[in-house]
Amino acid sequence: MFTRDSLNADAHRIEPCERRLALSASLAGDLMLDALGGTVLGGTNLGGTGDDLDLQHNVPVPPPAELHDDTDTGVADFDTTDLRGAGQTVVVIDSGIAWDHLAFASPNGGTGFGPGYRVVGGWDFAEDDADPYDDGPTGFHGTHVAGTLAGKTNDFTGVASDADIVALRVFDDHGNSQLQWIESALQWVHANRNAFDSPITTVNLSVGAALSDANQAIAMQMLEDEFSLLRQDNILVFAAAGNFFDGGDGNTGLLYPASSDSVVPVSSIDGNGELNEFAQRQSDIFAASGRSVSSSVPDHVFGWDGRVDDFAALDGTSMASPQIAGASMLVRQAMIDEGLSPTADNILARMRDTSIEHTDPTTGQTYRTLDLAAALVGQPATQATIDHFDGSVESEHVQLDLRDGIVMRVGEKTYFIDPAHDGAIVIDVGGGYDSLSILGSDAAERLILNPSGDEVGSSTGSLSTNAFTIQLRGFEKVAFEGGGGPDRASLFDSTSSDHLDSRPGLATLKGVGFEYTVTGVPKVYVHATAGGNDVAFLNDSSGDDSLSVRPQFTSLRSDDSFQLAYGFERVYAYATSGGNDIAEIYDSAGDDTMSISSGRSIITGPGYHVSASGFESTIGYATGGGNDIARIYADETSSNWDVATDRVQWTGQDAAVRIARGFERTEAFEQFEPIELIPLSTGVASTPWWVEDPKIRAERDAEASRSLFAALGEE
């Protein structure tokens, strides 16, 4: 048994956790059979670091089993589920894959490498080419791992047998490797994570090193950033724990990279569920079968008979790691089928929460074996009718699905809510930064959200239909996705300065400590009345839109949508999506200045600022009081101007108009040069006749309000 000291003093080697087989090209078959039953030879050099690193692999490999029609995976019930890892790609970083093996045949029976085959791609970092084949004389390890992960024949099934496979070869024909090849392979995974029809979700890395502190620092400096990046990508990396446990007297820790915080280590168990005598230990580690695991091997292992269909049984944590890796793919698939968007941490949490905990009698440390059937279901759904849900002080994410009844998901738990419940249903998540996503139905739903609530720092809201009302409490972030019905959303601001960005089908109101987003909602009403200096950005549709603005009220409507911004200090409206759009803008009670041009129209006054860009026609009204000024700009000379006592109008050749009504002074410009209007509108204009008649003025104001709220209806 090697020790850490003997490893550091030994020849420079980096290898898989199980021993490689050193064979001559001409006597591969005979020497393989001898090697499987006797001493295993082979050494490698870990180049590019300046220090010597060893990868431990000293457990004797057992004689190959006879070709048989099953595999001992140690993952209970994996072959009883319909989930097979479809829609995902798994990466095997190892000695390559014999991609022409029967276990990797495509559904049409063909074997090959590249798009359309089971092994969809990869790279050979040892020889720097695009053919990562598991060559002799020492190759077999990667093919065996890949078979356990995703192989499939009539008589053999890997754990995730519908997943696509990528082969990244980091060992040459003689078993030599370098850390920089492994680093490059990990970088390749990140760069190509979405390069295939199915995204890369999982990596198996059955290599490991027993390192001195200095050597481990070097290895970590090279690889830790890649491991961390893959975890951020929600790609799970699994690594074999190692095979040189010595009964607890010394080398009990994990090999590197299994010991990395960003890698999931896997140990191995025997037939009675106890850790193998050679397997490395760590508290709470996952473990799967590591004894006589049968899987695919390249043709050269048993002597090149021209049929790449051989299987062999091997021992080691390298055989256990792909079982747990494959199981994680099934759990990911199950969670996606449940409508979740699982992160890497979510998947691991479900695997741990549903696993079976054991205690190692040798070390007293715990280890876990998977209950895959439980993991695929998750924690049993709570189907009792609930009318109240209380969260915790932790941050929680809640999903409310109205597409088929009312289903609420909180983490891994699912609740079914009876819409016929008498009274309001209350969802109160308490403290923390909590988020809510709502999937609407095709019925009419009304959403009301208020970040202030009844108490300082609280938030309230409600979601209602004709059949039910759900009270929402404590959510800082809410996203509502309409289901196609005539939905309405009413969003309220905070006491701080808030920001609205709205367009047909999408509106977001956010401020300090909250964010509300609604999509697919035809009518959106946003109220900024709680305080602060609030700003709204409204955008038009591709059809004909009408903008109406006066102090405290702004509406933008089309045939299919209505947007209302109430109480905002500043409003910016944009008509850039097409159609023939018109803007009607009213003044405030103070002194206002308005500029109307082809690109943008602006009105400003005390506490009042409106900008309307891209509208074909703009009409400005000065009916609120004050001493108001309007400036109208034409792009060309000799324009068509119409001047009346209370109105100045420019009309373009396309019938677009720019009109100023009721302003005390109106100025006209052509190509930014002032022009004289006849009659002149400089100085203080005579008071329009209707201003002196209170009844007529009230009627005109009422008509303006009706125009503004024509599409508003009952909020």
Task: State the catalytic residues.
Answer: 94, 141, 318
Distance CA 131, CA 169 (A): 9
Contacting residues for 215 by C-beta, under 8 A, at least 6 apart = 8, 49, 51, 52, 53, 209
Distance CA 256, CA 208 (A): 5
Helix (H) or strand (E) holding 694: helix 694-708
Under a CB-based contact definition with an 8 Å cutoff, are residues 112 and 100 in contact?
yes
Contacting residues for 272 by C-beta, under 8 A, at least 6 apart = none
Of 107, 92, 328, 232, the C-alpha closest to 336 is: 328
Contacting residues for 53 by C-beta, under 8 A, at least 6 apart = 12, 14, 46, 179, 209, 211, 215, 218, 219
Tokens read off for 359: 């205690």
Please state, in angstroms and as integers, the Cα–Cα distance from residue 403 to each residue in 68, 341, 462, 482, 610, following that order.
48, 17, 18, 10, 40
Query: Would you give the distance in Å from CA 250 to the centre of its chain?
Result: 43
3-state secondary structure 524-569: EEEECCCCCCCEEEEECCCCCCEEEEECCEEEEECCCCEEEEECCC
Query: Would you give the distance in Å from CA 131 to the centre of its chain?
Result: 32
* Torsion sign over Cα 378, 235, 429, 339: negative
The one-letter code for the residue type at 396 is E
> What count of other Cβ atoms lies within 10 Å of the Cβ of residue 712?
15
Distance CA 140, CA 148 (A): 13
Under a CB-based contact definition with an 8 Å cutoff, are residues 294 and 40 in contact?
no
Q: Is 683 exposed, middle or buried (0-12, 13-18, 19+ CB in 10 A)?
A: exposed
Q: Is 362 exposed, middle or buried (0-12, 13-18, 19+ CB in 10 A)?
A: middle
Under a CB-based contact definition with an 8 Å cutoff, are residues 264 and 240 in contact?
no
Distance CA 242, CA 255 (A): 6
Of 240, 262, 235, the C-alpha closest to 88 is: 235
Measured at the CA of 248, the angle between CA 246 and CA 249, to 5 degrees, comes to 80
Tokens read off for 220: 């970590």
Contacting residues for 469 by C-beta, under 8 A, at least 6 apart = 424, 425, 462, 463
The one-letter code for the residue type at 636 is E
Largest CA distance in the chain: 113
Distance CA 356, CA 345 (A): 19
